[in-house]
Chains A and B, each alone.
Chain A
Amino acid sequence: MLKSKNLVPRSRLFTVYFLISFIFIVLLIRFAQIQLFEYKQYKKRADINSIRAVPVSAPRGMILDRNGHILVDNFPTYILTALPNEVNKNNFSIISSCTGKDTSLLKRNFKRYYRGRFIPSRITKDLSFDELSCIEEHKNELVGINYSQLAERSFPSKVGMSHVLGYVKEIDRSLLNNINSDFQYDVGDLIGWQGIEKQYEYLLKGAKGVSYSQVDAFGREVGLVKEIANIKPFPGKDLFTTIDLGLQKTMEKLMSKYKGAVLITDPSSGEILSFVSSPDFSPEIFTGNTSLHEWRNLVNDPRKPLLNRITNGLYPPGSTFKMITAIALLEGLMIEGDEIIECSGIYQYGDRLFKCWKVSGHGKVNLDQAITQSCNIFFYQAVQRISMNRFINLCRNFGFGIKTGIDLPTELAGLLPTRDYMNKRYTSRGWSRGHLLNMALGQGDLLVTPIQLSVYINKIATNGNTFVPHFNLNKTPEPVIQINLKDQTWVNVQNYLFNAVNSAKGTGRAANPQMRGLKVYGKTGTAQNPHGDDHAWFVGYAVKGKKMVSIVMLIENGGSGGKIAAPLAGSAFKYIFNNNLDRIAINNGKSSI
């Protein structure tokens, strides 16, 4: 009934008029009271007695090794701030003469941290006590200049694992607009930018507190407020990592001469005990006043120290890959236990010649011998029995071509050339099974990361029951992708690896430190690559009683795996199993061996 008449008594209209007017008059009177009659009182409060809520930053959590040794700590430094409203920028020269820092740098910082006329803007940091007292002497000329403390990251244990620890970055105005996060950040806050600092930002960060202080109209603090209680900052949580400081430093020392990587893990838990990507750099480079020159040197260094070789370095795995081929043969029943193939040092496939590393040839070899002595010809021939798709699937089950899921922000998946990939790269006619022959030896288009090799050897060591490699000691280990092989296959492959280290002709003999009760397993690799000399590999593991560690050792352009990588792995095992085992405290009986 849209058309029903609107009949409202006039009295009701006036009642409503009256009520509305009444409300507005009450509001108007109240505003008049505050703004006109109590103006002086409020004006005074605004001028000298304003309350400001100042955020109090929470100390960031420490990063510790597995035994509580401090890897990353907080260190108080002094910073200098300038209040834009008051400061005279010509006086920056006084600061410059006190601190030795260029005025242009001071001015640049001043602009970078500017947030408003009444908010102090940071102009420099890391002041020494002498510099501070020099500034204090000129206090009268330096109006609007103040100093305060700031917690910075420090690295008391002097480890070089910058790739893992990562660094924190201070948020400036341009960064603030680009951060996409659930947390509230402000200019001047620290944010984990790489490595563990980034990965575990949510644990390490803590929560800011609020301190109420009275400030005058120019933002100068004049005292604390008693009426409102301060909110205390909530410190970030400390993070225990799986790293063992002693082992880490020993490995770093061992690797200091080489370009390459060492990764030592506990296969029964996935815990990473040592992680060396060499050459590395000091994490301190991101905290202090690094000169542009130092930074350029780091970026332009041909040895690529900024590259995290373990998760982001791509390499052909070489002969360390042969176990996959062996497993494929054993699982597919394509080979009898002691089937013998003749190695004459050279093998012709189509119109191509494939060579064994031993020019004179290995003579008659079976599968065991082929791995022990790392014979290429055996695998060139045997691999032809395997279907490509099946082989690729097996590789994928061992984790190649996919990210391992390590708790670091960046990781590469490597390159596992599938049929589709090969068709795209070489067109479907442009490639042949010859490429597969190369892959069986860990060469060709195949590229892996050392962390992938670590998961691979851990799987072999534990009959497939290992865990995703990780740094967070308190994290429940995540199982890796399941792989179902016959028990006998595992036993055979493990035996081959044992022989490769222990038999007289084994290529990996140097990896055995010859200690009582210690059984060492492993495989060497000498990978051809387009960047120069061969890469030397050793992957393996050592078992003593119920305790087990695995190692992946890579020396870039180091030459023969047996001659370079295996002895270094031997030294690592020696350090671990020589009195240090209890501290490293690996394995709590979860091992399958």
Chain B
Amino acid sequence: MVKAAYNSSQNFPLSVLLLPLVLTLIGLIALFSISVNQFGVIAITAFTKQLLFMIPAIGGFLVILFIPKYIIHKYIYFAYGAILLLVTVPFLLSTIAGTHRWINIGLPVAFQPSEFAKWIVVVCLAKYLSDHNLEIKKFRTLIFPILIALFPAAIILQQPDLGTALILLTPVFPMLYWVGSRPFHLFILMAPIFSIGTAFHNVSFTSWAIIMGIIVYIARPNLIFGIVLYFVNIFLGLLAPLLWNGLRPYQQKRILTLFNPELDPLGAAYQTIQSKVAIGSGGFFGKGMGEGTQTHLKFLPVQESDFIISVIGEEFGFITIAFMLVVFALFILKIVNLAYYSKERFAGLVLIGIATIFLSHVFVNTAMSIGLIPVKGLPLPFISAGGSFLLSCYVMVSLIIKMGMETIE
């Protein structure tokens, strides 16, 4: 017993726990800086809230850590069913902040079930793919995993919460790739999205058409299939703007609000400009804690969650941003490393899925705040304020440790 415990502690990937704790600390310092200058620290600030949220986060971490792996593997489909119900529940309740994302649990804070859908879908996919790994080279095997992720994503999209819905879909492709499906098959699935997405911009559409041509040429599918695939995509792209212009303005607006429900009343450009000015003016060393004029003049909206990186950038400078990005990179690379060396396919897949979730959060959040992509409200793991998300993140850390314990020597 003692020996077994010792052995398992030998395999305990400590860095997977330490790196998130470092990130949480950076987040708390940034939140403290926002809170401390709001005169009179008595009020419940984002900082004190986040400190309190650490309790359920550690609780969740420990609970998952002590559930045996085979139990998770065996019952994950039930969890999947439960989460489908849970993300539907908010529709039956009154809206909070105009959306159906939260469930009021009688506490001062509401609970957001869609956060938990993220990792449940990943574990669910991992089970399905590890159970059906033989036919993976066939195209039709790809369809079912996509449906697994698509179901909850479709429900969450109606809440409306495009960010979380997209995050649910992202792990599917890396996991399929990891388990050995042909890259070209994945390309076929993703091509139409790019075709429509780039259709509204001449240069990007032309570039996409060229890239697509090269890929189809390299992959050398059946000639007729290749030609059909290529032209169907081009046709889709050409058709999209026509269809769009055929819509009435109110219909266009409806679609736009579906895809950007958080459309800021002050205008999205305002947020991006303010965020860039904040980060840019921070320079190499930053302005110092509590000294960020952009932050404390309240130029930055949602600075405690979606735009927390602007606070860090302004007050603690490039050096801290770089350090933070390196920590994130090490953390995610370590997860992939564990995935490669894990003994079982199931564990490996879970790890790859979680790595994708973390990576997409980090990418979307940081890229948005420096104007690389349009504003999309997604929090930064371990750093942004938010109870459900922090809990979810630490549950995922727990899953990483659990899945990463048994590795090939």
- Neighbour of A215 across the interface among B37, B40, B69, B297, CB < 8 A: B297
A358 in the interface, Cβ–Cβ < 8 Å? no
Contact between chains at B344 and A4 (CB < 8 Å): yes
Which residues 1-57 of A sit at the B interface, judged by CB distance below 8 A? Answer: 1-8, 12-13, 16-17, 20-21, 23-24, 27-28, 30-32, 34-36, 38-39, 41-43, 45-47, 50-53
CA distance A12 to B175 in the complex (A): 11
B343: chain A residues at CB < 8 Å are 5-6
**Chain B positions near chain A (C-beta within 8 angstroms):** 37-40, 43, 69-70, 73, 130-131, 133, 174, 177-178, 180, 265-267, 269-270, 273-274, 276-284, 293-294, 296-299, 313, 317-318, 321-322, 325-326, 328-329, 332-333, 336, 339-340, 342-348, 352, 355, 359, 363, 366-367, 370, 372
A233: chain B residues at CB < 8 Å are none
Contact between chains at A4 and B345 (CB < 8 Å): yes
B318: chain A residues at CB < 8 Å are 31-32, 35-36
- Neighbour of A42 across the interface among B37, B280, B366, CB < 8 A: B280
Contact between chains at B277 and A46 (CB < 8 Å): yes
A114 in the interface, Cβ–Cβ < 8 Å? yes
What would 7 more interface pairs be, CB under 8 Å, given A6-B347, A42-B280? A5-B344, A5-B345, A24-B325, A43-B280, A117-B296, A173-B40, A219-B297
A45: chain B residues at CB < 8 Å are 277, 280-281
**With A16-B336, A116-B296: A6-B342 Cβ-Cβ less than 8 Å:** yes
- Neighbour of B366 across the interface among A20, A27, A47, A51, CB < 8 A: A27
**With A27-B366, A51-B299: A34-B346 Cβ-Cβ less than 8 Å:** no
Give the nearest-CB partner of A4 in chain B. Answer: B345
A177: chain B residues at CB < 8 Å are 43
Least Cβ–Cβ distance between A129 and chain B, in angstroms = 32
Contact between chains at B359 and A43 (CB < 8 Å): no
Contact between chains at A52 and B299 (CB < 8 Å): yes
B332: chain A residues at CB < 8 Å are 20
A35: chain B residues at CB < 8 Å are 279-280, 282-284, 313, 317-318, 321
A24: chain B residues at CB < 8 Å are 325-326, 328-329
Contact between chains at B372 and A30 (CB < 8 Å): yes
Which residues 38-88 of A sit at the B interface, judged by CB distance below 8 A? Answer: 38-39, 41-43, 45-47, 50-53
Contact between chains at A46 and B278 (CB < 8 Å): yes
A17: chain B residues at CB < 8 Å are 333, 336
A254 in the interface, Cβ–Cβ < 8 Å? no
A249 in the interface, Cβ–Cβ < 8 Å? no
- Neighbour of B293 across the interface among A32, A38, A50, CB < 8 A: A50
Least Cβ–Cβ distance between B371 and chain A, in angstroms = 9
Contact between chains at A2 and B321 (CB < 8 Å): no
Question: Using an 8 Å CB-CB cutoff, how does the interface string of A175-186 with B read, 1 for contact, 0 for none?
Answer: 001000000000
- Neighbour of A46 across the interface among B39, B69, B281, CB < 8 A: B281
B276: chain A residues at CB < 8 Å are 34, 42
CA distance A35 to B320 in the complex (A): 11
CA distance A111 to B298 in the complex (A): 19
Contact between chains at A27 and B325 (CB < 8 Å): yes
B73: chain A residues at CB < 8 Å are 2
Give the nearest-CB partner of A219 in chain B. Answer: B297
Contact between chains at B283 and A43 (CB < 8 Å): yes
Least Cβ–Cβ distance between B286 and chain A, in angstroms = 9
B130: chain A residues at CB < 8 Å are 1-2, 4
Contact between chains at A2 and B294 (CB < 8 Å): no
CA distance A173 to B38 in the complex (A): 11
Give the nearest-CB partner of B44 in chain A. Answer: A177
Least Cβ–Cβ distance between B256 and chain A, in angstroms = 18
A333: chain B residues at CB < 8 Å are none
A228 in the interface, Cβ–Cβ < 8 Å? yes
- Neighbour of A6 across the interface among B296, B313, B317, B344, CB < 8 A: B344
- Neighbour of A118 across the interface among B283, B293, B333, B359, CB < 8 A: B293
A43: chain B residues at CB < 8 Å are 280-281, 283
CA distance A228 to B272 in the complex (A): 13
Contact between chains at B340 and A117 (CB < 8 Å): no
CA distance A120 to B72 in the complex (A): 56
Least Cβ–Cβ distance between A279 and chain B, in angstroms = 41
Contact between chains at B346 and A2 (CB < 8 Å): yes
Least Cβ–Cβ distance between B101 and chain A, in angstroms = 17
A386 in the interface, Cβ–Cβ < 8 Å? no
CA distance A1 to B349 in the complex (A): 13
